[in-house]
Amino acid sequence: MSLYREHLDTVIKRADLALAATGFEHLVIASGIEKFRFLDDMPYPFKTNPQFKYWLPLTRHPHSWIIHTPGKRPSLVYFQPDDYWHVPPSAPSGDWVEHFDIHIIDSPEQAAKFLPQGKSAIIGEADAAIGEFAPNNPAAVIHHLHFHRAFKTAYELSLMRKAQRNGVHGHLAAAAAFNAGESEAGINLAFLKAARHTDSDTPYNNIVALNENGATLHYQYKSFDKPREHRSLLIDAGAEVDGYSSDITRTWTNGDTRFTDLVNAVDKEQLALAAKVQANVDYRDLHLECHLRLGSVLKALDIVDMDPGSMMEAGVTSTFFPHGLGHPIGLQVHDVAGFAADESGSLIPKPNGHPYLRMTRTLKPGMVVTIEPGIYFIPTLLHKLKSSKHSAAVNWRNVQHLTAFGGVRIEDEVHCTDAAAENLTRDAFREIQND
């Protein structure tokens, strides 16, 4: 309870500063509405506005509103319909209740009488509008709020640690299912059961890729067919607790020597990079160091015979590692303000030649980022490399062998502190495996 109270105090202070800096009198946040499929009466899974769940742990509550006026107690308009088609929200309960003035409504339109007059910054999607009261999403307010969301409170970190533990339970169950010869769909079911999630609860669509499918970075399918051989599993899957996400990737092998050596080498470099999540480190520099480290792996395992620095400059490392080192994480998996230079919304550029990097900020205590190096054997990128002037430096026999395994990615979430980095993911694995 004390962690939540301190968190809410911080959220209120940040909101007050944003309003003072931009001249608005009120901050109003819509949770969002339930959306229906085109030409159908079936709804999509509801996903609440991240700005709404920043204030309180409600993630299944459409048509609700938060109203904040500096100097006053925040209000919550709480939608609780009289519904027998679906289970309606229960009465408000939890540590947060005593900190809000709560107004219960049973139809969305009733919120209008509680929404403030005056100059309001109204954050939400356009379809949350009630009459003329409509989201205006002032960029100056959103930039200000997003910039500070990078710095997690103790309450947020506690929920993110719980999300890690739930995700790790899922990953260990998935590894067991892989070893038992399950299909991708079967492995996903094992993850969901152990993480205590359904598919609609997960913070993103789990990536469960057997064999060559691991070469597709965001592989979106889950086959029920069991392959003849279970050579490798790349699983990128997370859990969510009170709106806070985990994002964990592991790669498992059936024991092939060359692929096992590659997994172990990437894991070693991942740990070294995670340990460098320290105050005042430029995340762009860490990304470039990742390319050099992965270039060293490619050279040491006789995949590419080039100096790692030359490999990076020539774009060869990008053939095998085409994405960024990682991203901020918290209320959203790819959390906001990864490029923010300041509260105004000005941006820090990406390094030349690295268009897919999702963070360019300098690390500061309180930030949580993912560290996710990978080496992949992606046919379309390998085809381009083979037709380039650097083709002769590649051991294509080794590449052909490893292509059957798809690729390797190892991903942890790491908290930047005033001292050593806190690896939330490795801590969760140790805690659970030692139970």
Question: Which residues, given as ranges, of the chain have pLDDT below 70?
Answer: none
Same domain? 158 vs 127: no
Distance CA 239, CA 212 (A): 25
Same domain? 192 vs 143: no
For position 27, which CATH number holds?
3.40.350.10
Same domain? 83 vs 172: no
Of 131, 149, 167, the position where a domain reaches its end is: 149
Same domain? 122 vs 212: no
- Host domain of residue 25: 2-149
Same domain? 243 vs 378: yes
Same domain? 93 vs 114: yes
Long-range contacts of 424-428 (CB under 8 A, 24+ apart): 424/160, 424/161, 424/164, 424/246, 424/368, 425/164, 425/168, 425/246, 425/248, 426/271, 426/274, 427/161, 427/164, 428/161, 428/164, 428/165, 428/167, 428/168
Whether 389 contacts 292, CB under 8 Å: no
Of 129, 149, 169, the position where a domain reaches its end is: 149
pLDDT digits (tens, 9 = 90+) for 117-154: 999 999 999 999 999 999 999 999 999 999 999 999 99
Distance CA 274, CA 289 (A): 12
pLDDT at residue 1 in the model:
77
Same domain? 387 vs 305: yes
Phi and psi for 330 in degrees, rounded to 5?
Answer: 170, -110
pLDDT at residue 435 in the model:
80
Same domain? 250 vs 372: yes
Same domain? 144 vs 196: no
pLDDT at residue 310 in the model:
98
pLDDT digits (tens, 9 = 90+) for 390-424: 999 999 999 999 999 999 999 999 999 999 999 99
pLDDT at residue 122 in the model:
98
Whether 303 contacts 393, CB under 8 Å: no
Same domain? 170 vs 51: no
Of 90, 118, 149, the position where a domain reaches its end is: 149
Give how many domains the chain has, as a whole number: 2
For position 202, which CATH number holds?
3.90.230.10
Same domain? 241 vs 205: yes
Q: Structure pTM? A: 0.96
pLDDT at residue 89 in the model:
87
Same domain? 77 vs 161: no
